[in-house]
Every structure is written in C-alpha cells, then in structure tokens.
C-alpha cells in the first residue's frame, strides 16, 4: 500500500510542478502529519475495503477530508490515487477531464451521495467505471543497481559463477528456487522488465506485498510515473487549483 512518505513526495512533486504556473500550491507543505499517516493506513485497516478500488477510494477520501496539507489537498488526493491504482495496472482513462474534475469536486464537497457513510463505496464504484486495466511494467536494471536494491531489502547476492544465489540476511539462508543471472560480460547488460517483475514476485517485493515503485526503485521509480500521469490529466489539475 502507498505510505505517508509517498503521499508527501507526491505533494512536493505537485508543489514544484505548479510553482511557476498560474495557480501555485501556496502555501505548500504539511499541516498535519497525523492526517497523512491516517490516510495512508486507513485502506488496510478496514476489512470491508477488500479491492484495489475500495482501497484507492479510502485513500482518496481520506486525503481530501483530512486536509493534511496547507494547500493542494484535492490535487494530492487525486494524483496519489491515480498513482496507487496504477501500481496494480489500473488506469483512470475512461472519463473526460471534466468528468474527473467534477467527480473530485463533488467528493470534496460531500455531494457524492446523501449518506456520508456510503461515500467510500460510491467513490470506489466510480473509480472502477472510470478505469481500465493493463499489466504494470517494471523497469530495466543493471546488475549492480539490482544488487543494491536487493541489499536494501535484506537480500545478498552470492556469486556462484554464471548465476548468483539469493541469501536472506535475516535468516542467513539461501532462498530455494531463486537465482539471479549475470547478464552479459561482467554483468553489465540490463535485466529486462519481465525478468525484474518475476524476481520481485519470487521475493515478495511487489505492491501486493506493500512494496510500490517508490519503495523498490527510489524516487526515480515514481517521478517518471507522475510525469506521465500529469501529461494526461494536467487540465484536471489546473481546474482543481481554482476550486
């Protein structure tokens, strides 16, 4: 699941994106860190939120209503939700900019339904209507970069000639059935995205296990995604800045 640091990163990204535009996020920054932590944890605390759409809806609803930032809460909520769903191959593409803007405005104004207890479920239904699915792609990595990432998660690559075995630092045991090939001479050739995706699943380093792109790849793992999302939905973000 998305964590508080990722939400803050997205807010900072939006602050930098809009700083020289007509409607900057002013003042920027955190007003209530607890509200961010609450928004990040809420989707996993309620057993009723048993789908990606419901979890995304809870995240969206919480950031908007907690007002954890001085400004830009609606924009941060929308981009955080788009990013979260995108991690699972869910793309909000089956709606116009006007539909997505009006949907976000109505959620913020509590106009989405009569009973506020139903808001998250109504939001989830709408997100599903707005979405299509496709496989989420990973990124190519060189051997040394992959090794460094795995080290961050407590895995050590042990050289066995043409392949490396993977050792869990916590147990000091080699993981059965998991090896890492040395791509090219001296391991300098890129691993392709399909290989990285398979390895992440074997080591349980996927969004389903709480490891999203930002946690796995670092800031470079999220900035490219956010840039792509903003290219598609910049008009929505500009309009939200005026409400």
One domain for residues 100 and 173: no
Res. 181: pLDDT tops 90: no
One domain for residues 159 and 48: no
> What is the number of structural domains in the chain?
2
Alpha-carbon span 53 to 131, nearest angstrom: 10
One domain for residues 86 and 8: yes
The pLDDT tens digits for 184-231 are 556 668 899 999 999 999 999 998 888 888 889 887 778 888 988 888
The pLDDT tens digits for 153-168 are 999 999 888 889 999 9
Alpha-carbon span 222 to 212, nearest angstrom: 9
One domain for residues 13 and 124: yes
One domain for residues 156 and 106: no
The pLDDT tens digits for 113-141 are 999 999 999 999 999 999 998 767 788 89
Asked if residues 7 and 88 have their Cβ atoms less than 8 Å apart, the reply is no
Domain-located, residue 220: yes
For residue 104, give the 3-state DSSP assignment.
Answer: helix
Range of the domain at 90: 4-136+213-240
Alpha-carbon span 72 to 124, nearest angstrom: 22
One domain for residues 168 and 228: no
Domain-located, residue 157: yes
Question: Which residues lie closer than 8 Å to 236 by C-beta, 6 or more apart?
Answer: 78, 97, 100, 101, 104
Domain-located, residue 114: yes
Domain-located, residue 203: no
Which residues is 173 bridged to in the sheet? 168
């Amino acid at each position: 699941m998305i964590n508080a640091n990722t939400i803050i990163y997205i807010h900072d990204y939006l602050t930098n994106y809009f700083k020289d535009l007509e409607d900057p996020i002013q003042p920027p920054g955190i007003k209530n860190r607890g509200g961010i932590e609450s928004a990040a944890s809420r989707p996993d605390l309620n057993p009723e939120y048993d789908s990606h759409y419901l979890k995304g809806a809870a995240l969206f609803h919480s950031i908007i209503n907690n007002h954890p930032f001085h400004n830009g809460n609606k924009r941060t909520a929308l981009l955080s939700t788009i990013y979260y769903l995108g991690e699972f191959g869910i793309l909000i593409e089956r709606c116009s900019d006007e539909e997505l803007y009006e949907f976000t405005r109505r959620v913020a104004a509590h106009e989405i339904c009569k009973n506020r207890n139903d808001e998250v479920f109504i939001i989830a239904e709408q997100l599903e209507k707005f979405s299509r699915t496709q496989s989420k792609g990973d990124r190519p990595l060189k051997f040394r970069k992959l090794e460094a990432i795995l080290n961050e998660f407590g895995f050590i690559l042990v050289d066995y000639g043409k392949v490396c075995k993977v050792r869990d630092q916590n147990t000091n045991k080699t993981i059965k059935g998991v090896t890492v090939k040395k791509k090219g001479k001296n391991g300098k050739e890129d691993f392709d995205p399909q290989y990285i995706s398979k390895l992440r699943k074997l080591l349980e380093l996927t969004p389903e296990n709480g490891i999203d792109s930002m946690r796995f790849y670092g800031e470079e793992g999220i900035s490219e995604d956010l840039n792509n999302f903003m290219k598609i939905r910049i008009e929505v973000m500009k309009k939200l800045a005026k409400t």
